[in-house]
Structure 1
Amino acid sequence: MADIWSYFLPDEGDIFYLFWAKQMLISVLIVGAAYLVSRFAALLVARVAHRVNQVTKGEWDEPTLARICAPLLALVNTAGLYVAIRRLPLPERLHLVISGILFIVNICLLATCAYRLMDEALKRYGKRLAGEEMSRQLIPLVQKIGSIFLFGTALIITLKHFNYDILSLVTALGVGSLAIGLAAKDTLANMISGFTLMIDLPFRIGDRIQLGSQVGEVIDIGLRSTKIKSLDNSYLIVPNSELCNTLLINQDLPDSRGKGKVVLGVAYGTDVMLAKRVLVDTAKAVPGVLAEPAPEAFFTSFGDSALNLTLLFWTESYTTVFGVTDRVNCAILESFAQNGINIPYPTRTVFFEKDTNHAPQN
C-alpha cells in the first residue's frame, strides 16, 4: 500500500523543481507587471506633457518631458527586477552581488533624472533670470556644481547601502574643503562677488561706469574679474571683490542721457537776466542739445572780477557730451558778442601810497 501512495506522491527532487518553478513564475510576473506599469506611466506622461505644452506655450514640450521622465520609467523596470530577484532562493552571496548592482543602477537613474531636470530648467529660465551675457558665465558653473552635488549624494547613499562608514569620508571632505577655502580665500571672495554682481546687476555688459578716476565700458563680467575698456582704449581687469566694496557710478542707468555743464563769468554791471536768457536760447539752438529737459542757466556766485554763471543742458547720450559742449561754447561766444556781453579777464588794481614821513628833505 505504501508503494502505491509513493507512486502518486512526488519525491524531494520534484518538490524542489516545483518550488523553483513557482518562484520563477512569480518573479516573471513581477517583472511583467513592472513593465506594464512603466508603459502605462509612459502613456500618462505623454498625455500630461501635451497639456503642459499647451499651458507653457512650448517651453516644456513633449520631447523635453520625455527626456526627464525616461530614467524614471527605466527605474520602474529595474525596481521590478530588483524585487523579483530578491525573492528568489539564490545563494546569499549571489543575492548580495545582484541586488547591489541593481541598487547602483537605480541610484544612477535617479541622479540622471535629477540632472536632466536641472539642465532643462537652466536652459529655459537661466537666460531669463540672469540675462543673455551673464548666463553664459553663470549657467555652466551651476551645472558643474549641481553635477558634483548629485554625484556626491549618490556616492554617499551607495556607500551607506553597503554599510561603509561614511563619517570618515564626510569628515575628510569637510577638512579638505576647509583647507581649500583657506588657501584660495581671495579667489573664492572674487567668485562670490561675481555671483553678487550677476544677481544684483549694478551694471550690465556695455554700460559705461566710473570707478574712482577711471571711466570705461564694461566688456565682460566673469566669475573672478570684470573687464573694462577705458576711454583711452586701455584694458582694465578689476577683481570682483573690489567692485562690490567700492563706490562706482553707472552712467547708463537709469538711462544713457548725458549732462553737460558750462561755467563762465560776465563782467560786473552786466544784466544778469539777459545773460541767463542768452545762454538758454543759445543752448536750445545748438544741435544735439535736448529740448526736454530744457537747458537751464544759474547765477551761482560773485567772483573776484566776474559774475559767475552756470549753464546746464542734456544730450541724447553721454558719449556726445564733449562734442556738444564744444558747439555750445562756440555759440555762446558768438551770442555774447552780438548782445554786448563781456567775459572779463581777471584784473587786479594796485594802489601805491606815497610815504611823506620819510621823504627826503631838500
Structure 2
Amino acid sequence: MTQELKKIESSIWENVIEFFNYNIYTFTDNANNITSVIKVKNLLGVIAILILTTYLLRWIRKLVTRSMPNDDKAKFTTVFSFARWIVYIIVLLIVLSSLGINVTAVFAASAALLIGVGLALQTLFQDIISGIFILVDQTVHVGDIIEIEGKVGRVEEIKLRTTRATTVDNKVLIIPNHLYLENSLYNWTQNGTSTRESVSVGVAYGSDVRLVEKLLIEAANSHAQVIDKKATVVRFLDFGDSSLNFKVVFTLNDSFNARIPESDIRFEIDRLFRENNISIPFPQRDIHIIQKPN
C-alpha cells in the first residue's frame, strides 16, 4: 500500500513538474538564430510579480496623496493611472529578461505588429499626452467655459483622452484632448466668471448720435443680468454704406448664457429707438438712369 501511495505521489509530482515546464509559446528570431520559450512557470512568475507591483503602486499612490487637497489628489490619480501602465511594461520586460526569455527576439518577431499598433494608436497617444499637459498645467478646470473650433461649452469632466463639456443647448460636447495642441483654446472664465459682451446696431444717417449713445446705454443697463453699470460703453464703429454703426459693450456675470440677455437688450433697443424716432436702416442703392439722346 505504501509503495502504491509513493508511486501515486511520484506520478502527481511528475505531472505538476511537467505542467510547470509546459511550453506555452516559442519565439524564434531567424536572423540571429535565437529561440525563446515561454513556459507555464514563467507565466505564473510574471503574474505573481505583476500582482506584487500592483499592490506596491497602490501603496505609493496612497502615501503620496495622503496630504494632498481633494482637487490635486484627483488630478494626481488620473496621471498616476497612466504612468502605472508604463511601470507595468517596464517590469514585464525586466521579468521576462531575468527569466531567460530573449526580449529582443520577442520584439523582433512582433516588430510588424508593434508598428501597426503604434500607427493605429498614434492619435490615442496624442490625446493622452495632451490630457496630462492639461492636468499638470491646469489650463482648463472643471466648470470653465471654453471655446475651441467655434464650439462653446462648460467643462464637466477632464479625462486623459477626452474632455466632456455641455453646450448652452444642453448638448454634450466630447473634445479629443489632442485638439488643444492643434487649435487656439479660448478660456472665457480663467480670469473670472464676468465677461464683456456686446450688441451691434446700425442707425440711419442724420440720426442724433449722442441720443443713440444714451439710448443704447439705457437699454443695456436696464437688464437685470448686466453688472457694473458704469462700465457700459458705446463705441461708434464706422460709417457704413447705409448706416452709422454702433456697438454697446456691457458686463455679464454668466457669459455662458449671454445670448438670452443679448436678445432682451435688442428688444429694448428696438423699443427705445421707436419711441425716439431713431430708425434702423436697411441697405439702399441709388440708381441713376441716363437717357442717351436719339
TM-score band, normalised by shorter chain:
0.5 to 0.7
Aligned to 2:65: 123
Aligned to 2:261: 324
Q: TM-score, normalised by structure 2?
A: 0.66
Using the alignment, how far apart are the partners of 2:107 and 2:68 within structure 1?
30
Gap change, CA 1:189 and 1:346, over 3 Å in 2: closer
Q: TM-score, normalised by structure 1?
A: 0.55
Aligned to 2:117: 183
Paired AA for residue 220 in structure 1: E
Paired AA for residue 117 in structure 2: A
Q: 1:307 aligns with which of 244, 247, 251?
A: 244
The 5-angstrom pairing of residues 1-362 of structure 1 reads 115=57, 118-124=60-66, 130=72, 132=74, 134-143=75-84, 145-146=86-87, 155=95, 159=98, 168-169=102-103, 171=104, 180=114, 183-184=117-118, 185-186=121-122, 187-291=124-228, 294-355=231-292, 357-358=293-294
**Structure 1 SS opposite 2:245:** strand
Tell me: higher relative CO, structure 1 or 2? Use CA pairs within 8 A at least 6 residues apart.
2
Give 1:261 shift. 1.6
Give 1:202 shift. 2.4
Give 1:347 shift. 2.9
Whether the aligned pair in 1 keeps the contact of 2:130 and 2:181 (CA below 8 Å) is yes
Q: Calculate percent identity across the aligned residue pairs.
A: 26
**Structure 1 SS opposite 2:66:** helix
Paired AA for residue 207 in structure 1: D
Which is greater in Rg? 1
Using the alignment, how far apart are the partners of 2:129 and 2:88 within structure 1?
19
Whether the aligned pair in 2 keeps the contact of 1:264 and 1:309 (CA below 8 Å) is yes
- Report the structure, 1 or 2, having the larger helix content: 1
Whether the aligned pair in 2 keeps the contact of 1:115 and 1:150 (CA below 8 Å) is no
Whether the aligned pair in 2 keeps the contact of 1:126 and 1:135 (CA below 8 Å) is no
Gap change, CA 1:300 and 1:177, over 3 Å in 2: farther
Using the alignment, how far apart are the partners of 1:303 and 1:111 within structure 2?
71
Return 326-335 or 177-186, whichever deviates more. Answer: 177-186
RMSD: 3.6
Using the alignment, how far apart are the partners of 1:245 and 1:125 within structure 2?
36
Using the alignment, how far apart are the partners of 1:183 and 1:315 within structure 2?
49
Gap change, CA 1:129 and 1:327, over 3 Å in 2: closer
Name structure 1 gaps, 5 residues minimum: 1-106
Paired AA for residue 323 in structure 1: I
Gap change, CA 1:286 and 1:233, over 3 Å in 2: closer
- Report the structure, 1 or 2, having the larger strand content: 2
**Structure 2 SS opposite 1:352:** coil
Instruction: Kindly tell me the number of residue pairs found equivalent between the two proteins.
Output: 241
Whether the aligned pair in 2 keeps the contact of 1:258 and 1:321 (CA below 8 Å) is no
Gap change, CA 1:235 and 1:177, over 3 Å in 2: farther
Name structure 2 gaps, 5 residues minimum: 1-48
Paired AA for residue 311 in structure 1: V
Return 114-123 or 221-230, whichever deviates more. Answer: 114-123
Paired AA for residue 123 in structure 1: T
Using the alignment, how far apart are the partners of 1:188 and 1:256 within structure 2?
33
